[in-house]
Structure 1
């Protein structure tokens, strides 16, 4: 098994463990990731709006 596959399986196993045994923390992390992505979208939108106008 390659190192890449081993790391992929390890990450998947950790995510399953994290959601199963720490659901509150997993939900908080997911919420923060979604908020970060939304803020990126707003920032890029503002930037392009100001560039165009």
Structure 2
């Protein structure tokens, strides 16, 4: 039963993402771009932290 719920939930999530992209592609692109920037800044911060530890 749990596997079935996960499968249905996954399909619902995919359907929502596709709907959001089709309904507002510019906003979806902005969200992806912002998420990438946040992730990149996080990685840079981690490298900076370890670099400071090694100095």
Aligned pairs, number: 53
User: Which runs of no fewer than 5 residues in structure 2 stay unpaired?
Assistant: none
Match of 2:36 in 1: 34
**TM-score (ref. length: structure 1):** 0.92
Root mean square deviation of aligned Cα: 1.1
Moved over 4 A (4+): none
Shift in Å at residue 24 of structure 1? 1.1
**TM-score (ref. length: structure 2):** 0.89
